[in-house]
Structure 1
């Protein structure tokens, strides 16, 4: 229709924008060189600077007249950079024709250091003769700062690791001293008896709760005990200390092992009344000399694994201590005493549950049956042989051990191994080992 206006097409609308964008891209090669985001430098083969862009001059603080035809590339480097350039950079560049990403430091006009990454290329003529060297330099200050920060963080981490290691070693030394204070420094020499003990901690970073002792009680009698306090750490160590000294005093005051356990049970209940209960398993008793080469053993157990006898006859079995509850739980525990004898060649073994509860993988524990089989293959054996063999057994579990283990073996030297047709009365006849102690 006459007089109506035609709407512009999309192409016609975009033409001004396209023209502006095209104008932005119409930089000259000289402008791209002069204001590039990196430094450009061209030198003759002897290093004399023939051309340099404004970016590099701005970094360095020089004018073009101060640099072109008056300085060599090496003059821009620090003393260390100049030495590296002369001994490594320049010779390699002549041989290879190109070097990429070499870290160097430039010296600016005001004496500051400027870290850069340098890439140089030798330009040659048609016959391969070198004409000049073209060099590109990238500002590496941010990268160098990042590297320094990484090095600082790594150094701090290493120092922290060493400090933690020193603290851990010191802690282990302190714990070892504290642990040794909870155990007798050595076992006494007993006429007519041989005794050996062993203690293995599952972790050097914590205090264990296992304990044992063997001590004179007068009139050819020797008191003993071995046990395990629930838990680990300082609190368990405090219970262990209380248990050891209470038991020792109780055994010295009354040879009846039931009386000793009852005294300990009362002490634990009174000490932790109104607080979180602290309890332990323990077996205690008395060796009494009955002849030139024989001892009677009176003992009682509070929730502890059954003692083991390895006989001179080559047999082994568990001694039924009639169970007994955990010590420190019930006000009227009702402990029961048991008696056996040791003849020449017999060995009496006490142990904590770190042995029978040793993990074998896939949720399987070593257990009483395997320990009995191990003892049957070992018997007859002296206390020293028993301790060495069981210690070797524990070593075989390696880092899988998750609980401490204490061992105490006492035996009468001598005797001749003799296989009997019947199990001696000192061994239970109703199975490989008695049922578990009631809790």
Structure 2
């Protein structure tokens, strides 16, 4: 019943305490000999009253140092901690770009600050630098990145925090780590799940992303019937074998190594290196080349790029122009050629009056491809050796003209910084060439 008077007394006691604290600095003035004058007494009373009314404001408002030139020791340490994380990785990259140096940077950041301030910016910088250090497909490094997050800090405590995306910036950073793992085809493990649960909780967005990855990745793992290994062979012969067998549409095509790379010493003592020559040809291509008319030339064209993950290689083809319509002979289809699906369908389907057949389709016919190859040096002399080697199994090439339509390869391109050669002033006018000979660099009978 007497609770209200008690609270009022407590409030008065607190006010009296604040008053005494404000008047205490002025008490020394009354003890000094100069404080006996009435003028000093009135000034001290006014100062004490002024301090009594401004005590709360003085406690809240702190003086601001406007001298930005002079900084304390704490501010200097703070500036040192604000060094960009990209510069930290660049300093380590000067020595070597390996997994050990990348882990050394992660360990240095963890030991730098117990509270791990700026961990989100550091993780973003580390994700950007991972391909440079060659650790973009290492699950242990991703788990070490997730281990940088403080544990049990961003876990929602109730359903309201869980519903309103508790700590969204940290959850987006965790999602970015999982998305980069997904882009590189890397499947998370049990350690990844334990870290995500400790950092964000069971019902968080990163844990749901982990569950989706574990559901879909095993189903899509062996979906590609022609997979490309992540680590390609460094041997050019093996890489050419794999690439040509991947390009060929016929499984019966045979890969032949016509020449291995070697270095020869001529009579003058000069070393001459010979490139490798690897070709592929199927039995159907061999029979199609045997039926080719010797009056019509064949062409060697290239180089054409082929990308295998991050490696680009080039190949060349031996082909001919398509036959004119008056020379085409339609061969009847053999119904027993395929037992799985028919090669020709004769269907008489009734069309509705509203069907429109007036659209046009441009059909572009390409000539037959007789063989393909990959060489170490894409010049006419090397490709001429390939044609000479093909004559052993295809004698029709000895009676057919071969034209080379070679474009400038990637090694033969000139940079924009190189000056163009000056035109000759006294040059004799030569015979004009037609468009077709301009594309051909030579002919081989």
Interval of TM-score (by shorter of Structure 1 and Structure 2): under 0.3
Q: Give the alignment's TM-score, normalised by structure 2.
A: 0.18
**Greater fraction helix:** 2
Q: Give the alignment's TM-score, normalised by structure 1.
A: 0.18
Larger-Rg structure: 1
